[in-house]
Structure 1
Amino acid sequence: MTEAIRKHDGEIEAIDALLRDSYGIAGRITALPGEHDLNYRIEAADGARYLLKLHAPGEADDLGMQMAVLDHLSEAAPHLSVSRALPDRAGAASITTELRGPRTARLLTWLPGDVWSRSAARNMESAVTLGRLLGELDRSLEGFSHAGAKRIYGWDIGRADMHLENLVFIDDAGKRAGVRGILERFVNNVLPRLEACPRQVIHNDANDYNVLLDAEGRVSGLLDFGDMVETWRVIEIAVAGAYALIGTPDPVETVARLAGAYHAANAISETEAELIFDLVCTRYAVSMCMAAKQIRDNPENTYLLVSQEDVWRELQRLQRENRKVAIARIRDACGFSPIPHAARVERWLERNAHDFAAIIRPAVTKPKVMALDLTAMSSDAEAWATLDADGAERLIDERAAQAGADFAIGLYGEDRSVYKGDAFETASVGTRRTVHLGIDIFAPAHELVHAPFAGTVAFIHDDAVDFGFGPTVLLEHRTDEGDVFWTLYGHLSRQSVQKLFVGQAISVGEAFCNFGASSENGNWSPHLHFQIVTDHLGLGGEMHGVGVRNQWQVWQSISPDPSVVFGFSTPASVIVIRDKDFLVRERHRRIGRSLSIAYSAEPLKIVGGEGAYLIDEAGTRWLDMVNNVCHVGHCHPRVVKAAQAQMGKLNTNSRYLHDGLVEYSRRLTALFPDPLNVCFFVNSGSEANDLAMRLARAYTGNRDIITVDHAYHGHLSSMIDVSPYKFAGKGGEGRPAHVRVAEMPDLYRGRFRSGDADAGRKYAEDVRFQVEALSAEGRKPALFFSEGILGTGGQLPLPDSYLKHAYAHVRAAGGLCLADEVQVGFGRVGSHMWAHETQGVVPDIVTLGKPIGNGHPMAAVITTEEIAASFANGMEYFNTFGGNPVSAEIGLAVLDVIRDERLMHHCRVIGDRLMDGARALAERHSIIGDVRGYGLFNGIELVRDRETLEPAAEELDFVIARMKRKHHILLSSEGPHHNVLKVKPPAPFSAEDCDRFLAALDETLTELTG
């Protein structure tokens, strides 16, 4: 029995009786905290849990509203994790009772999870999932209205102006002044902008006692609708953010991620996004006013003190943030430009760059510059740290001279984290500013600085006292659209700056100041720090010259790359490396969620490759067993060298004569029997298959296509139409009228199985059936699509003679036959160069892709002279990049490596080793149902029962995840049931790699099956 219940004799008995009599429930009763209501957790004897609420008297409208909203949500959003009302035995949603006076009782479903305030699992995902839940909730409440929600309510921060009169209850003068400033800002700046924002009923109290989290820190439930009110929608985000940020390392990041998730579920406006930061501060101010007044009125109610000790501390943390940066970060998280006009300023700079004057005037018109790696130099004790200013200057000059450069530059985006000075200290809680926002130009002291375009002096600052980095000047400019921005000039000569005054007009090309000497420049070698500024953040001349790495997308908007002003022939900026979470978010925003990410639960950031291995940002080597694109090995030096050499000579389209293109077409067609001796070059397997279909239609005059079930032939619209894997799957629109689908010849699961010597002919009968079905409609096939081994079908080798019979049926009807070698060509099958050769057939058209360029985007169509001639019908065929000189040289290098490194034979030997090893594992692990393939194109099918062939898809997911996490081996699934382990590594996959894979698979299957 809890302390709260002991205080009132008989309460537990009364509650027990209430539950038994009214709801037919008996169980353990635990008191929970509440400001006005009495709340109890009920743990019934059958294990079920409930929440019993005993509402205080005098809250009829409030209670009616809470009951009404749950009814509304049960219809509008039954999926949301909110409590659901349970009726009593008589069907009533509430009943009256006596407990510490008259009460209204309601029984609700119990939501699992720990209260946010007590959960050790809370993390950034907590804020994200809370934002998503609240966004979905408010979207569901858009049409909800209730008289009880129209109240004037002290906890509605949309009415924060009411609390100005409560300031007198805050005893501490410093706190009182801080709260007054926030409330006055609300009245003068926030409220007028709120008036234009949407209003609706909101939950209004997603505090850390009303939000539940699961073991992974994700939100599992939202409690207590007693604070609901009709107000401005954005207040929902602010209230939740005020609680979610408590104790987090970076409060603005927490609020921003919450707001971004809300926006993704329920889009908000730019105005709403800009108000969130001020509204979070307002929530804290209101909380302090409410607490001060209520504690004075009711000092014994300890619930009023819950979280109040955090409020002032967190409010002070927020007040230390740069408000403009905080707003920019929230805007960015919601998908808006961090600085609204920044993109327009950048476009203005691009449009007008041809008119800019040179900032410094070297002897040559087009100066050659050397990019100076200041980070490396500053961390090199011998080269930099031990030098005095004169020595450092000489070193920079010497390196520039060695490079034949007119002067050296420091790069935009460079990491300056090696510096430990206060100038790089916290820009936000828990962060350091380390990424360079400008370009440094190293030149002799007193070098003249010219204005690149006209402006006026806006700020002059000398930080001699603070950091000793010398004077800084900001010139203000205005675009033709009226957008204001600034150019910043740092490390200047003090004497030259003393001649300037704020408001002074500076004309284009005017020399208005000079470089400072080392003695007035923190002992740096003389240089100019030049920076574009779209918002000086209220800092004026103290504007930061370095930004925060994990906020780089925001700082890029505040200070865009100034390279456009200089027009150097050498890159003056670098890409700032970001973490995986950011890259995932940006991919979703910038590239589209339909572009999948491998291992999405734990994505990899790959920065390098070598042979059969990929290398991540931490230097971890991952055995790549799914990448048949880099066929001869990641970054094969011979292929890389060929590409570099040709790129340095020429790359243009194929309209011009080029020896490499002709030689490559000769070499490539020599790998096929007559009459396959004509090439068309394109850029991808999808393009190749699309062109092949056009060739077939031109030659036959027919339009209909026959394809094999579950096949995939490309992402173009024309190829989606002939890919059952796509058109019959999720998001597909079904089989088009011009496409017929032949039965998949599956010797493991199909109608005819291994051991049936005639299975190939029998499966091909369905191709005949499709031909006859077309004939019955007065139509004929143009083309029959088939791979030599069925990839998406589950790594399925074709039954003997299948293609021989299928081709015969199609050709008898006047159609052509295509072998799709995009996945399996170039010796991967081990016994032959092309997979279709294992069937003893010669297709009319062959399409090549993926391995053809070892990662370079190229592909080809191989066909006969007769078919090619039919395509020359007057409509010119041209492909800008297909067959360009660089692609031709890469293609030749790939063929050379396959030949010289005997990779076809290697694929056969290692493939046999792998399949023999996998079949040996099948003798110990019954979950392996089938092992199949040719060379290094293999499938290992997992089943729960070898008799029923029940697919073991979930088990395969475990295997793939475990092999990745524990053994650093990359695999993926295939097949209609997603239960086939797909194996197609780069061809240099070695015997040692094979044995490592088999040992890891053995261990993983043992873990799986116990």
Structure 2
Amino acid sequence: MADSALLQRTELSRPDVSISDAKAILGDFYGFHGEIRELGSQQDRNFLIDTGPERFVLKVTRAEYPYAELEAQNHAMMHLRSLDLGLDIPEPIATLTGEYIPQCEIAGSYYWLRVLTFLDGQPLTRQKFLTEDQVAALGDVTARVALGLKDFKHPGLERELQWDLRRAGPVALHLLKSVNDQSKRDRIAKAMIVAVKRMQAVAPELRLHAIHHDVTDDNVVARPGSNARLMPVGVIDFGDVMYGWLIADLAVACAALLHHAEGDPFFILPAVKAFHARYPLTQAELIALWPLIVARAGVLVASSEQQLSIDPDNEYVLGNAAHEREIFDTATSVPYSLMETAILDAVGLARSAEMTFATPLLPDVTPENLRLTDLSVTSPDFVADDWADQEVDWKLLARAAMETGYSSTRYGEYRLSYTRRLSERAPATFALHIDMCLPSETRAIAPFDATVKRNGHHVILSSPELALHLDGIDCPLEDGASVATGDSIGQVAGAAGSIGGLRIQLCRDTDLIPPLFAKPHQSAVWSQLCPSPSRLLGIGIDAPAPQSEAVLKRRNKSFAKPQKNYYAAPPQIERGWKEHLFDVTGRAYLDMVNNVSILGHGNPTLAAAVGRQWSMLNTNSRFHYSVVADFSDRLAALAPEGLDTVFLVNSGSEAVDLAIRLAWAHSGRRNILSLLEAYHGWTVASDAVSTSLADNPQALETRPDWVHPVLSPNTYRGKFRGAGATEGYVAAVAETIAAIDARGDGLAGFIAESVYGNAGGIPLPPGYLQQVYAMVRARGGLCIADEVQVGYGRLGHHFWGFDQQGVVPDIITIAKGMGNGQPLGAVITRREVADSLEREGYFFSSAGGSPVSCIVGMTVLDIMQTEDLQRNARETGDYLKARLEALGQRFPLVGAVHGMGLYLGLEFVRDRETLEPATEETAAICNRLLDLGVIMQPTGDHLNVFKIKPPLCLARESADFFVDTLEKVLSEGW
């Protein structure tokens, strides 16, 4: 039982000391004067004083706390400051008379006083979201402090403290007397009993020395690191320093992390790894860690309840109570065996034993008669979105059994049928069991000596080290019966001659009813607890593990380096449906960037049309077939009157390249005007007119002399804004044209996106293209509208981007969405412009205009019309833009929302006056969104703009999910 003095201390309220009292103390004892405010504390009174040049903390402690304990705290700080820990530690300050811990009387009560230097920074507790780096850093800081205190000695360390986890059980039971809610009291008590029992099993092996015992997110001081993210650099609050279990130091830190974990206890593992890397822990300490975390959580909750019963106005306790409940809920949400295995696995001490069985469970099942189903993301058996059918797994399993009567799902398979669209968290998709279709009356044999446990139709064969869970078996044995290896345990249930279903699962925790599925990031640990039944059956029934890292390595080995991929650690995407993408673990992502797939992913109508055409003919456009004429007519009909001639190519880059050649051929001149900050493609000519620094940092230094970039008409952050912007930007073009005129070598044309796509969907100034087009045409040049990104209905309000400016170009270039991912591009122009190219010879594109490409293009237009996708782009896009603009009213980081329809740009700035780009923040937000199930990428010369260009089938609920998720990130951090 805990010491009575200790239990009495748990009932003490804070010192009755006001700010005016604190001012008098600081002046009389320390000679400090300045601004003062109270800081939070549970049983002390803490005050921050700002003298101007310096800041200090006054700590007022009740006299019931022994002097030696307070001296130990001061000496611990001095000891750590004398070491080279790379950490900031507060410095105790002496009074005017040289005392470090004087005593004073206030209103008849005596208190101990201490003053410490104040460490500048922020606690991590205020930041709801913590990155893996931050979590690891907290673990590392905890280890550094623990190592620093390893050899520290002081009599005041031997103390009775309610936070000492060696006494967690009796302390919690005492504190629970103040909890009035019976169910809450019982829940805490039950958790504490189990935790203490597991702690006691290894307690004799746990190392003891001086520990801080309170390195939490509230007691570390963090400052921005190299990536502008808060990283812990110092430790404060030595009020709990004591002689105790080393592992308790880490347990306290990990428990504090759980209110950042969003219910995922694996969140602590980077801290465990980091601590162990700096201060290696023993296996006994690692086994004790999770029970200690649960015990710490129980004491926290019980202590808050008890403290509020005697000090109901304590805002510090009130503010922490919700966090502590979240810590307790997360700590008690998972079985001990899971976290013990996860912790050991995290430091490379995973425990896995090979299993051998003398006899198979199902002797009638052989590799020859068993058919395996494929329920993975890449399964060819899923059609369209039938994987969303809750019965699809059993339907496919039954179909597989039709041939031999025997079929099985695969253990360790990430099942697409268990995905969850529009989910911030990855669902449990990893199968920890197998389901089988078998002839009824198929024999089942005990594969090991066991005791039978029954729970309705659920039968468990339990041995000291392993439990076999069976559903769908007709077992005649009673609960508690013993079976030996090879004994009959029954048969597959079902009427004679029918096919029955059998579920099989193994678990090394014999007290646990395991889940059927695990979340992807927990699957490696769960698979140690619930190993594959393969050896049980003598048949290989395991799904191959995804090889995403190996695939990425092979990509980097064989795929040219300049061909970049999204994200440093990209998910391996192997399937899509509408605006959703699925990786090989069954994780669903909302695709908010894929303007290539204008219809959405996996469109069955398009797939059928392509398959039908491939089965008949695919060749080059020099052969005579009808669909090339049909598609050319269809495209010409979409263009303004007079633009009646079509070239078909493979990509937007080729289309732009061809458009420039047409301008050269028709005008007989070479000079081309293009816009700064623009991107048009990768071929020699299209790259030449591209000036985006995000795509090519040397763009401005490497332009050929026939390219003449003009001032970017960026009305948000450009040189001219607001009223008069059009005139300013047009004048800049006129100045460049005048210089070309002066040289006398003429102008071939002008190319621009009709909406400033790569800069983030920024509309051009009103009337800009009308005036620029007029100047270009007056000199015999051609006007090229690059609609590759912004055209084809994406703007919603207009089919073509140039409609927004009220102009008709001489040449239109299109690609991307027109093929929904199939290589397909086009140039639409006037007949006489097209004919000009014949002076240089004929034009030919091997695959441009092939039968398959033309069928793709025709079908895309058909589906766009049938599904009214331009209207959806308008309505859903307007709704999405309004919601994004509403975020700008709450979050200063949101500078502006550009664009229209489903081509939007969300620009992030650090300052709305200076428009300093929030480049690092934008990248970090993208990465956080990926974790939450949203694909998003930055654009613009400063990479501080979200280029929002999803498939045009984007549903309103998906738009809401995107904004809600972004709001979460902006609220919680990244």
Give the structure-1-normalised TM-score: 0.51
Given that 1:438 and 1:561 are in contact with CA atoms closer than 8 Å, whether structure 2 keeps it comes out as yes
Whole-angstrom distance in 2 between the partners of 1:564 and 1:834: 62
1:294: which partner in 2? none
Give the Å deviation of 1:518.
Answer: 2.8
Give the Å deviation of 1:743.
Answer: 0.3
Letter in 1 for 2:731: K
1:440: which partner in 2? 435
Structure 1 residues 168 and 263, CA, compared in 2 at 3 Å: closer, same or farther? closer
Letter in 2 for 1:444: P
Whole-angstrom distance in 2 between the partners of 1:744 and 1:676: 31
Q: Which among 20, 28, 32 is matched to residue 23 of structure 1?
A: 32
* Deviation readout 1:231-271 (Å, 9 max, x if unpaired): 999865422234666xx9x9995643234478799988998
Q: Which among 263, 267, 278 is matched to residue 257 of structure 1?
A: 267
Answer yes or no: is 1:52 the counterpart of 2:62: no
Secondary structure at the aligned position of 1:440 is classed as strand
Structure 1 residues 975 and 793, CA, compared in 2 at 3 Å: closer, same or farther? farther
Equivalent residues in 2 for 1:122-137, closer than 5 Å: 129=130, 135-136=136-137
Structure 1 residues 272 and 20, CA, compared in 2 at 3 Å: closer, same or farther? same
Letter in 1 for 2:439: P
Give the Å deviation of 1:894.
Answer: 2.6
1:789: which partner in 2? 755
Equivalent residues in 2 for 1:499-538, closer than 5 Å: 502=485, 516-518=491-493, 526-530=500-504, 536-538=507-509
Given that 2:475 and 2:490 are in contact with CA atoms closer than 8 Å, whether structure 1 keeps it comes out as no
Letter in 2 for 1:528: L
* Deviation readout 1:795-834 (Å, 9 max, x if unpaired): 215614555478689999xxx9864212232366778757
Equivalent residues in 2 for 1:205-284, closer than 5 Å: 205-206=214-215, 223-226=236-239, 236-242=249-255, 253=263, 255-260=265-270, 276=286, 278-282=288-292
1:852: which partner in 2? 818
Given that 1:62 and 1:149 are in contact with CA atoms closer than 8 Å, whether structure 2 keeps it comes out as no
Given that 1:56 and 1:102 are in contact with CA atoms closer than 8 Å, whether structure 2 keeps it comes out as no
1:351: which partner in 2? none
* Deviation readout 1:646-699 (Å, 9 max, x if unpaired): 3467489966899697457645764677897443224xx579779999999999
Whole-angstrom distance in 2 between the partners of 1:317 and 1:443: 40
Given that 2:15 and 2:60 are in contact with CA atoms closer than 8 Å, whether structure 1 keeps it comes out as no
Equivalent residues in 2 for 1:138-217, closer than 5 Å: 150-151=151-152, 182=199, 185=202, 204-206=213-215
Identity of aligned residues (%): 18
Whole-angstrom distance in 2 between the partners of 1:68 and 1:717: 66
Equivalent residues in 2 for 1:71-110, closer than 5 Å: 97-99=102-104, 105-109=114-118
Whole-angstrom distance in 1 between the partners of 2:261 and 2:798: 61
Answer yes or no: is 1:743 the counterpart of 2:748: no
1:63: which partner in 2? 74
Given that 1:941 and 1:981 are in contact with CA atoms closer than 8 Å, whether structure 2 keeps it comes out as yes
Given that 1:515 and 1:527 are in contact with CA atoms closer than 8 Å, whether structure 2 keeps it comes out as no
* Deviation readout 1:720-767 (Å, 9 max, x if unpaired): 997666539xxx956552147530235797559878997776332455
Secondary structure at the aligned position of 1:150 is classed as coil
Give the Å deviation of 1:445.
Answer: 2.5
Give the Å deviation of 1:279.
Answer: 2.0
* Deviation readout 1:165-185 (Å, 9 max, x if unpaired): 99999999x999985863553
Letter in 1 for 2:510: L
* Deviation readout 1:378-397 (Å, 9 max, x if unpaired): 99xxxxxxxxxxxxxxx999
Whole-angstrom distance in 1 between the partners of 2:165 and 2:948: 67
Give the Å deviation of 1:144.
Answer: 8.2
Answer yes or no: is 1:644 the counterpart of 2:657: no
* Deviation readout 1:341-388 (Å, 9 max, x if unpaired): 89x99xxxxxxxxxx9993588899999999x9999999xxxxxxxxx
Secondary structure at the aligned position of 1:23 is classed as coil
Whole-angstrom distance in 2 between the partners of 1:867 and 1:337: 67
Whole-angstrom distance in 2 between the partners of 1:286 and 1:832: 62
Which structure has more RCO (C-alpha within 8 Å, separation ≥ 6)? 2
Question: Structure 1: any 5+ residue segments left out of the alignment?
Answer: 117-121, 290-306, 346-355, 380-394, 417-431, 451-456, 477-484, 505-511, 576-589, 597-605, 611-616, 918-928, 958-970, 994-1010
Equivalent residues in 2 for 1:353-392, closer than 5 Å: 359-360=365-366
Structure 1 residues 320 and 719, CA, compared in 2 at 3 Å: closer, same or farther? same
1:964: which partner in 2? none
Secondary structure at the aligned position of 2:650 is classed as strand
Letter in 2 for 1:679: L
Structure 1 residues 783 and 847, CA, compared in 2 at 3 Å: closer, same or farther? farther
Letter in 2 for 1:788: S
Give the Å deviation of 1:516.
Answer: 0.8
Secondary structure at the aligned position of 2:701 is classed as coil
Whole-angstrom distance in 1 between the partners of 2:714 and 2:658: 28
Given that 1:62 and 1:148 are in contact with CA atoms closer than 8 Å, whether structure 2 keeps it comes out as no
Letter in 2 for 1:445: S
Structure 1 residues 398 and 244, CA, compared in 2 at 3 Å: closer, same or farther? closer
Given that 2:676 and 2:709 are in contact with CA atoms closer than 8 Å, whether structure 1 keeps it comes out as yes
Whole-angstrom distance in 2 between the partners of 1:935 and 1:322: 49
1:389: which partner in 2? none
Give the Å deviation of 1:324.
Answer: 3.6
* Deviation readout 1:896-935 (Å, 9 max, x if unpaired): 456789999x899999x99xx9xxxxxxxxxxx9999999
1:891: which partner in 2? 857
Equivalent residues in 2 for 1:289-368, closer than 5 Å: 322-329=335-342, 359-360=365-366
Secondary structure at the aligned position of 1:66 is classed as helix
Answer yes or no: is 1:825 the counterpart of 2:791: yes
Q: Which among 530, 536, 539 is matched to residue 510 of structure 2?
A: 539
Q: Which among 667, 670, 680 is matched to residue 649 of structure 2?
A: 680
Letter in 2 for 1:20: G
Give the Å deviation of 1:981.
Answer: 12
* Deviation readout 1:194-232 (Å, 9 max, x if unpaired): 9xxxx9x9854146996899xxxx999974035569999
Give the Å deviation of 1:788.
Answer: 2.3
Given that 1:852 and 1:859 are in contact with CA atoms closer than 8 Å, whether structure 2 keeps it comes out as yes
Whole-angstrom distance in 1 between the partners of 2:212 and 2:616: 62
* Deviation readout 1:833-879 (Å, 9 max, x if unpaired): 57399654434x83422x314x5465425496998999999xx9988
Give the Å deviation of 1:938.
Answer: 9.3
Equivalent residues in 2 for 1:652-731, closer than 5 Å: 662=628, 666-667=632-633, 670=636, 677-682=646-651, 707-713=674-680, 727=694
Letter in 1 for 2:202: R
Question: Structure 2: any 5+ residue segments left out of the alignment?
Answer: 1-9, 175-189, 223-229, 300-319, 356-361, 376-380, 416-426, 547-564, 581-585, 829-833, 883-894, 923-935, 958-974
Whole-angstrom distance in 1 between the partners of 2:349 and 2:503: 24
Structure 1 residues 868 and 331, CA, compared in 2 at 3 Å: closer, same or farther? farther
Given that 1:63 and 1:226 are in contact with CA atoms closer than 8 Å, whether structure 2 keeps it comes out as no
Given that 2:648 and 2:827 are in contact with CA atoms closer than 8 Å, whether structure 1 keeps it comes out as yes
Structure 1 residues 839 and 57, CA, compared in 2 at 3 Å: closer, same or farther? same
Given that 1:686 and 1:714 are in contact with CA atoms closer than 8 Å, whether structure 2 keeps it comes out as yes
Give the Å deviation of 1:572.
Answer: 10
What is the Cα-based RMSD across aligned positions, in Å?
A: 8.5
1:1002: which partner in 2? none
Secondary structure at the aligned position of 1:443 is classed as strand
